[in-house]
Structure 1
């Protein structure tokens, strides 16, 4: 999995960082959890403060483009983001452990 960051913008009004990137990979399309985990490690950001918004994948190509938002605090995240986006971008391992 290879990241190519095309835009990295700081939005002071919403206390977040907006990152557009292209992702090249082999095989199946990576999950949101994998993408956010590796992007967080690359950008030195906390996983729980990240939301992956847009995914665009052309047919037959092993490359996708994404937009991710990284918030400064959990409070800013909950004030700005829609609830379903927070749930969709939540780490899946934690949810699986809660169900057991």
Structure 2
């Protein structure tokens, strides 16, 4: 699984970094939880501060594009992020734990 970050912008108003990425993988599409863990590891951040907004795959390609956000603090993440995205991230963590 290889990441290529195509955009890395700082949003000072919302206390976060906004990353656009292209992911190349072999076999089945990796789960959101695995992708989130890998992004956190590559950026040296806590997994709890990372949110994956969108993840899109194309038929017949072993490639996915997506957008992730890395917050400065848990508080700013909870104030800003949409509730369904927080639940989506938490549900993946609970089912695999």
Coarse TM-score class (shorter-chain normalised): over 0.9
Q: Would you say how many aligned residue pairs link Structure 1 and Structure 2?
A: 97
| Bigger-Rg structure (1/2) | 1
Secondary structure in 2 matching 1:27 = coil
Kindly indicate whether residue 82 of structure 2 is the aligned counterpart of residue 77 of structure 1.
Answer: no
| TM-score normalised over the length of structure 2 | 0.93
Residue equivalent to 1:20: 20
Pairwise CA distance, 1:82: 1.1
| TM-score normalised over the length of structure 1 | 0.90
Q: Which runs of 4+ in 1 moved over 4 A?
A: none
Root-mean-square deviation (Å) = 1.6
**Structure 1, gaps ≥5 residues long:** none
**Structure 2, gaps ≥5 residues long:** none
Residue equivalent to 2:66: 66
| In structure 1, distance between residues paired with 2:32 and 2:96 | 18
Residue equivalent to 1:39: 39
